[in-house]
Structure 1
Amino acid sequence: MRKSNRAAAGAAAWQAVQHSNRPGTPGVGERVAALPRMLGSRLRGRYDGLTVPRLLMFLLAVAYVASPIDLVPELFVPLLGLADDVGVAVWLATSLMGETERFLHWEQREGHVQGRVVG
């Protein structure tokens, strides 16, 4: 993906993130900080809210957005070539927003604070 397309996809994803941040929900910084804890909890088998197929979809989306190879090249269909990148980036951002919110609620229910169990 060209740099300009990455920038457009990133800007669209950021707009989606900003619009999905509702009052009373965790902020973007809190969600980003929760990502490594969520992955670690999933890999250790403690958190089963993130399914393996969903995790694979996230990894594929990251690889697609970062990859210079596009499913729909901009050379042939410029607008559609950009739209697929933006669409994947927006899906990834909004899906991660929802997934991290569920994880943060799970941490609260389970009594976890910053990845440690509160006794």
Structure 2
Amino acid sequence: MSSLFDKGLKISKNALFNVFIGRATQLLGRPFKVVTVLNEVAEKLANKESKTNKFRQLFEVALTLVRLIRSYISGEYREISTSTIISGLAVLLYVLSPIDLVPDFIPILGFLDDLSLVSWYVGKFQGEIVRFREWEEAAHRQPAPSGAALPDAAARPALGDAAQPSVAELGHS
């Protein structure tokens, strides 16, 4: 039996996944749309609880991927290549889509192909994910300006930086 990574690699080479790569490339120029996708993916992942350790870890990494892309889109974190962000966004679009190689309405199997693709992404971009988590930890060690603790970034909507102009004001949407 092949590993989740191997299955994810196979999916990543499938023509259907190339459709998601194209959609992710187009979406990257539309930050508000990306934030909507990230919120939907975070909600979908949060609704799926697994008692299996291996799957729980993949869920946590998928939520890290949501936070990574959200931080990239907001401009907070840019220490990553655009192609890595596009691949990550394509993975999240695939997870969100009910139309993929194994439809999500099929119990268990419908979600395993999503997890396989997340597993492939994690394996391929492990160094990027580790660097982001280190950056995240360093950023959160600093006290929040108001002194109040903020909820997990993947579980809340992207609020942006009030000191910065919104993307719509810059003429992008």
- Give me the TM-score of the superposition, normalised by structure 2: 0.32
- Give me the TM-score of the superposition, normalised by structure 1: 0.42
